[in-house]
Amino acid sequence: MIVLLLVVHILVAIALVGVVLLQKSEGGALGMGGGGMSGFMTGRSTANLLTRTTAILALLFFATSLSLVWLSNRGHAPQSILDQGAPPGPAVPVAPAAPQPQTAPAEPQPAPPAEPSQPSPPLAR
């Protein structure tokens, strides 16, 4: 059922794109349906037909979209994060780690000798 509805949805989307592209634009530069159909229908009846077809295809597109969402969510129960509660803690309480035995501190290393500071050369301007 979902596959059939998805195929219908894709066909409606392609038809909707085609009908929108056939309509004459406001500027008239990109419209393809204006000049070639003068013998078949008048400009006004063509615009009415394309407008109605666009409205019907848009309605079918929304209907198939909503139907696909409804069918895909039909078997799932709604879940809320608040209903789940706190995440489960560890099943067995963890014992504290045993204390580490004290070892004798190592002898401190002598610090490396500091380098003598050199006077900086004068800056040339």
Q: pLDDT tens-digit profile of 30-60?
A: 555 555 555 555 666 767 888 999 999 999 9
pTM strictly above 0.75: no
Enclosing H/E stretch for 124: none
Rounded to the nearest integer, the mean pLDDT of the chain is 78
Q: How far is CA 87 from CA 12, 81, 83, 90, in A?
A: 45, 11, 11, 10
Q: What percent of the chain has pLDDT over 90?
A: 31
Write the secondary structure of 47-85 as one string of H (helix), E (strand) and C (coil).
HHHHHHHHHHHHHHHHHHHHHHHHHHHCCCCCCCHHHHC
Distance CA 15, CA 61 (A): 10
Give yes or no for residue 92 having a pLDDT over 80.
no
In the block, which residue shows the tokens 């129960």? Answer: 77
Q: Which residue has the higher pLDDT, 87 or 49?
A: 49
Tell me, what's the pLDDT at 26? 67
Q: Residues of the chain with pLDDT > 70: what percent?
A: 74
Report whether pLDDT(114) > 60: yes
Phi-psi region of 28 (alpha: psi -120 to 50; beta: other; left: phi over 0): left
User: What residues does each domain of the chain span?
Assistant: 1-7+43-75
